[in-house]
Structure 1
Amino acid sequence: FGITTTYVDLSDTKAWQNAVQENTKLFYLETPSNPLTEIADIKAISKIAKKAKALFAVDNCFCTPALQKPLSLGADIVIHSATKYLDGQGRVVGGAIVGSNDFIMGKVFPYVRTAGPTLSAFNAWVFLKGLETLELRMKQQSQNALEIAQWLEKQPGVERVYHPGLKSHPQHALAKRQQKAGGAILSFTLKGGKKAAFKLINQTKLCSITANLGDTRTTITHPATTTHCRVSPEARKAAGITDGLVRIAVGLENVIDLKNDLIGGLKK
């Protein structure tokens, strides 16, 4: 289609500026990132996009509107995998595109009407029901995730923990400015590499072993062999996704129960 892509370190605002070309039409990012929860400065990048006369799209799947509002920070388009937190209970599959009336009705609606990627009435109803509890779920799941992240930082077998709510996170201050909370996703690197990661994941009973996220159940996965398995080892290494990295999407279970579920694998 004649489309070329330039990859940018999303947390480096200067890199976005340096990547702009005469034919740049779209800035696209996900913040926090998957799985290392890197944060992009939405407001700063939006100014660069506007100066370049390019559209700016933000994937807000991890935070949802309950924790982060990209449109108010300067984004033109917001994208959600509604399958995740907007539903919240792993029941249906869908997505959402949010933007101005001119963009949605002028660009999105004609395509949807012609190509047919529309939700069933039942799926739409399930998503609406999920939205009724979205803020409550995101608040509690974020609290649970932060407590688990703080606890993991104290475990001897853990090398590093990634969660925006941690003071050790390199963009903790930025996350506090543009998010209401750190979110329910965390990841951590184990000192024993892939072997240690697999031992931990396989011994869990309460956590569901799956690459999905956003459920009321806690899910656990090994990014290098699931979500990022098609990425070359060199690219994974450059992105910081090591064989010892584990990602957890923390749910609504009792935090003590979750710690007990993880501690056995951490001790092995």
Structure 2
Amino acid sequence: DYRERINLIMRRSDLREPYEGSEILALDGNEGEDLTLHFAMYFDPYAELVSAADLHSIMMEEITSDSPRFFRNLTIDPSSLIIKEVLGQFDDIPGTSSSPLGGKDDVVSEVVTTMRPPRKCEPLRLNYCRSVGYNMTTYPNFFGHNSVEEVETDLISFRELVDAECFRQAFDFICRLLQPPCEYRRIEEPSAGKVCRQYCQAFWSGCGDRLPERFRRFMDCERFPESTGIQSCHSRPGCSGELQSNALS
């Protein structure tokens, strides 16, 4: 229940795109009495820069609201909210904290990101996706591959999805996740071009049950942006795109 409340807050916030989920690490105390909740929130470091201050502001807005949407029936002392960033792998997260129990519910959060090298553009070298419509890509891709060699070791699983014809635009969709277009939208470094949420949902409804289990965790369509008037993502191709996808499959 606590995990779902946290997820609802973040998925309706401005940080919903980089947000990957939460985990309850520990509960100190007894239900119905004073309780300290330790939890971790996970973010994609490639999607957007996330600071502890941003998260503190989002959580405090809900905690101090006169009409909270997600923390209803909970009394939380605002001064007990502690959010700190943990850089490293998930195994580095401490499971508990020495924070004392207060007169109300205390909240202790660990914000987890991972260290990574700067993202850069490089030529698209995966022969299978050469006709996708652009020639520069970036790593890691949306399935966590860090090189074309890593992609090629898993390629057969994705080719089988296209060959199964479970989704008309499967070729375009799969290639845009395996070899995302490299886009310059920030001064610091390029970013990986994303498909739109509706496109992801359409693919999932057709091919989701065929996707190997180990790749399913990367296919949370809620992580992809919604299509807007100012195009910030790649929508499902129209008729001409469909014909091309069929020919290539």
With normalisation by structure 2, the TM-score equals: 0.29
Which of these two proteins has the greater Rg computed from alpha carbons?
2
With normalisation by structure 1, the TM-score equals: 0.28
Greater fraction helix:
1
